[in-house]
């Protein structure tokens, strides 16, 4: 039960995150990402110390391979954050939601391409329906839904590479934000030097929002990490749809973004694809015949 509460809490927080991002809409997405990184470091560090897992980091810092992989995952999550923040502020939250709906199907595709896994028939049908949804949106817009594809691709690749890190989720997150904090601090200093910084004593509201970027980034990630340890993969697979569903509802009913017939058809195809994919995961396997 605790694992389910952790997972639901994480995805619910991710789902309502666009509301917080809209408050930061007058700032560049790169500046918001920088502060997400900077203010996540102390919080993640305190959690790591509280869990008594700081010794794992000593091993990580002595392994060039671990540092290289952590750098790659850190770059990928920074790209994902940047595109996501820009999409919400630019009024493209619907596309962002679509990206996170597509993500599990992209993960399946990567498993086949990179790990030599085999498609099951339901997975083939699900991927075909998802591809059809992308085609529908592409024809309607006159171009690929790149926001959705980049978000899905970057997060799926991040998840794939993240599994190669020989350290736990909380240690990995701390290592990633610690590595990113160097360019993030340099960028904030550059903004300050050029008079473009929003983190100013004269703007206490902006300062408060930027500091909050740390907790709203770290807390759901840590909740997810704890939930993933306690839940089977099938349960995590079901709860992950909470976030894009909330994002879609907020985009349409709070932000007033368009959701016309073409969007409805595309999302219906995606929901059908996810239904088939989820069914293929949770259905019990037939017992072996004696």
Tens digit of pLDDT for each residue in 15-67? Answer: 999 999 999 999 999 999 999 999 999 998 988 888 787 887 888 888 888 89
- Is 288 within a domain? no
Look at 45-49, 163-167, 235-239, 262-266 and tell me which has the smallest mean pLDDT.
Answer: 235-239
In a domain, 13, yes or no: yes
Q: Is residue 290 part of a domain?
A: no
Tell me how far apart the alpha carbons of residues 254 and 268 are, in angstroms, rounded to a whole number.
21
**Whole-angstrom distance, CA of residue 118 vs CA of residue 280:** 13
Rounded to whole angstroms, the Cα distance separating 188 from 34 reads 7
Q: Which of 87, 101, 140 is nearest to 257 (CA)?
A: 87
Mean pLDDT confidence for 272-287: 74
* Domain membership flag for residue 38: yes
Q: Of the ranges 64-78, 113-127, 249-263, which one carries the lowest mean pLDDT score?
A: 113-127
Range of the domain at 46: 2-282
Residue 60 belongs to some domain of the structure = yes
Predicted TM-score (pTM) of this structure: 0.89
CB-CB contact of 67 with 178 (8 Å): no
- Residue 188 token pair: 């904030």
Does residue 287 lie within any of the structural domains? no
């Amino acid at each position: 039960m605790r694992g389910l509460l952790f997972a639901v809490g994480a995805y619910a927080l991710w789902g309502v995150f666009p509301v917080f991002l809209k408050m930061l809409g007058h700032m560049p997405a790169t500046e918001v990402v920088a502060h997400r990184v900077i203010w996540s470091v102390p919080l993640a560090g305190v959690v790591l110390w509280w869990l008594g897992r700081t010794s794992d980091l000593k091993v990580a810092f002595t392994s060039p391979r671990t540092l290289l992989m952590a750098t790659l995952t850190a770059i990928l999550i920074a790209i994902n954050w940047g595109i996501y923040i820009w999409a919400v502020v630019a009024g493209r939250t619907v596309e962002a939601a679509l990206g996170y709906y597509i993500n599990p199907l992209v993960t399946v595709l990567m498993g086949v391409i990179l790990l030599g896994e085999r498609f099951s028939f339901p997975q083939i049908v699900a991927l075909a329906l998802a591809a059809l949804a992308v085609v529908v949106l592409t024809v309607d817009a006159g171009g690929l839904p790149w926001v959705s594809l980049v978000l899905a691709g970057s997060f799926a690749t991040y998840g794939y590479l993240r599994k190669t890190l020989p350290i736990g989720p909380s240690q990995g997150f701390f290592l990633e934000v610690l590595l990113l904090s160097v360019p993030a601090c340099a960028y904030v200093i550059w903004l300050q030097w050029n008079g473009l910084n929003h983190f100013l004593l004269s703007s206490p509201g902006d300062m408060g929002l930027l500091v909050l970027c740390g907790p709203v980034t770290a807390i759901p990630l840590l909740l997810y990490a704890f939930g993933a340890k306690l839940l089977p993969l099938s349960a995590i697979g079901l709860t992950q749809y909470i976030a894009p569903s909330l994002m879609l509802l907020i985009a349409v009913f709070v932000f007033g973004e368009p959701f016309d017939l073409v969007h409805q058809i595309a999302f219906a195809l995606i929901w059908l694809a996810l239904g088939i994919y989820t069914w293929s995961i949770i259905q019990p396997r037939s017992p072996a015949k004696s």
